[in-house]
Chains A and B, each alone.
Chain A
Amino acid sequence: MGEGEAQIENPPDAPTEPAPPAREVIYRHKLATRITHWINVFCISLLLMSGFTILNAHPRLYWGQYGANADAPVFSITSMQREGRWIGITQIGALRFETTGVLGASEMNGRVVPRGMPAWITLPSYRDLATGRRWHFFLAWLFVVNGLVYLAFGFANGHFRRDIAPTREELKPKRLWADIVAHAKLHIPRGEESKRYNTLQKIAYAGVIFLILPLMLLTGLSMSPSFDALAPWLPQVFGGRQSARTIHFITANLIVLFVAVHLFEVFLVGAWNEIRSMITGYYEVKPEKAADVK
């Protein structure tokens, strides 16, 4: 074990300096995955920001078929003046929070002004619903085309079956629990283990690809009056157009949550290696810890 063994393993004619341990590099992400991933990063970031611009036009969400100012919202961001200063109030159900600085009242050009989402997270940063919509629908089309390309490749080259779908074995409660514990302990996979997605990772990816993102699209379409004439059942599936709008907002937030965890894991495991693998395709496998080597 250790230095001694490494020395012994060297062929007799090897240089006296011990060779650095060989690094194993695997081809992890296919070109189609890499290209669609980065287009998706672009689309989803700007869809979120332009979506917030649209939300700012009426930062109240309802449940049901209809909903406007006279109807009770399930979520709202309001602005009010107190002693000459703007304050923001965010309401979720019966809960009320003062959210000045972020929601309801935030700084723009050095002054606190009434606005739903803050300027730094909306596209454009200034209040302009027409431009926000133009961005949003342009990006939505790009996102849909990109998503279809991704799905076509994923099914055709076996990516979903091979890499994303959890195996029956992995879904057994005992294995799942072990994976949850490993995540809680911020376990960093090495060696063979790091060559595959772990179970929670597979479930998260599958959930986003096959549930959250399609829900995003379908709830978005439910808000289109023309699309509703074509498929009147669609908004009904979600409980009405205003419910669909609320779900659109919830799923958007779930995507933000997913991205936050995703980025956390990337930085935990090693940002450079992870990001490089999504650019060049090549991923360096971390060697097993010395103690683990039998």
Chain B
Amino acid sequence: MTSRLLVPSRRGLIKAGVAAGASALLAGCDRLSRAPAFRDFIGVEQDVTKAVQRSLLFHQPLAHEFKPSQMSPVFKVNGSRMPSDAGYQRLLDAEFRDYRLSVGGLVANPLSLSLRQIHDLPTRTQITRHDCVEGWSAIGKWTGAPLSEILLRAQLMGEARYIVFHCADNLRDIGDDPGFYYESIDLFDAFHPQTILAHTMNDRPLEVGHGAPLRLRVERQLGYKQAKYVMRIDAVRSLAGIGGGKGGYWEDHGYEWYAGI
């Protein structure tokens, strides 16, 4: 095919355009990043990822479990290291003898469990990889009671959709939220065999830095879901009205509720 074309010299024009475009693009991206409507728009990624991953995980496969030789020599302590709450400090001073895990909300049989009682529940041990949202990983060995065992004893009501974990620490130093740390998972993860309330880590009682006396392990999710210092578990129908309403401390600070990726 043959035709005549005008090819004006536009190199200068293009160069100037590219430079101006790039800086406008950067400023524009920052403005978009802060605009609530746009954040909601790109937030659709969370719904798509959740829908796709959940449909692939329908058969509830286990997260990879590692050999003892593959464990991290040092398991990084992250987030709270020592809750400053006076109530927690009293429990710690008495080596958690007075600790009670309360299980309430939409349950027919609210519970108040001592550490002894939790130890007496069926136990699961797993060597799993902890993946922080920041990018690092650590492999540790966790022993505890499957959450399903506790929820079965508490007799979840039909309308319950989420399990909320209320914790003893607050991250005033990191965020600006005066409230306590909290997290939530849905029933899909709550009844997964590897979802446990761990009281033992690497064959020793859980250390304060890692969430003593009780920490949630929900192995197919990122680190911020693994709530430490769990004091109370509530079964709820909706996450609205709890904390900032997004289902967790970090969720209220912009992170996704679905932390599977």
Contact = CB atoms under 8 A, between A and B. Distances in A.
Interface string B1-33: 111110100110010000000000010011001
A284 B73 CA distance: 62
Interface size bracket, B side: 35 or more
A265 interface: no
A229 B5 CA distance: 57
B45 A71 contact: no
Nearest to A120: B26
Nearest to A224: B261
Main secondary structure, interface of B, reads loop
B138 interface: yes
B14 A271 contact: yes
A4 B230 CA distance: 94
B256 A241 contact: no
B63 A225 contact: yes
Given A133-B256, A141-B45, A227 B261 contact: yes
B33 A124 contact: yes
Output the residue of B44, B136, B221, B250 with the most chain A CB within 10 A.
Answer: B136
A284 B5 contact: yes
Nearest to B74: A70
Contacts of B11: 271-272
A135 B74 CA distance: 32
A60 B136 contact: yes
A129 B133 contact: yes
A7 B63 CA distance: 79
A22 interface: yes
A282 B45 CA distance: 36
B135 interface: yes
Interface stretch (A23-31, A181-189, A198-206): A23-31
B62 interface: yes
A150 to B, nearest CB: 19
A67 interface: yes
Contacts of A271: 11, 14
Nearest to B15: A271
B72 interface: yes
Interface stretch (A51-59, A79-87, A100-108): A51-59
A227 B57 CA distance: 8
Contacts of B53: 224, 226-227, 230
A205 to B, nearest CB: 23
B94 interface: no
A123 B42 CA distance: 13
Given A129-B134, A245-B135, A22 B74 contact: no
A272 B10 CA distance: 8
B134 A26 contact: no
A109 interface: no
A137 B47 CA distance: 11
B260 A125 contact: no
Nearest to A53: B33
Given A26-B1, A65-B70, A225-B260, A241 B129 contact: yes
Contacts of A237: none
B7 A272 contact: yes
Contacts of A272: 7, 10-11, 14
Nearest to B8: A272
A230 B62 CA distance: 8
A128 interface: yes
Contacts of B204: none
19 contacts: A27-B1, A46-B29, A54-B135, A58-B132, A66-B72, A66-B139, A68-B74, A68-B76, A70-B74, A124-B34, A130-B250, A134-B43, A223-B261, A225-B220, A226-B261, A229-B64, A230-B57, A235-B64, A273-B7
Interface of B: 1-5, 7, 10-11, 14, 26, 29-30, 33-34, 39, 42-46, 48-49, 53, 56-57, 61-64, 66, 70, 72-76, 129, 131-139, 219-222, 250, 253-256, 259-261
Given A137-B261, A241-B129, A245-B135, 20 more contacts: A27-B1, A57-B134, A124-B33, A125-B26, A125-B29, A129-B133, A130-B254, A134-B43, A138-B42, A225-B63, A225-B221, A225-B260, A225-B261, A226-B221, A227-B260, A228-B64, A229-B57, A229-B61, A229-B62, A271-B11
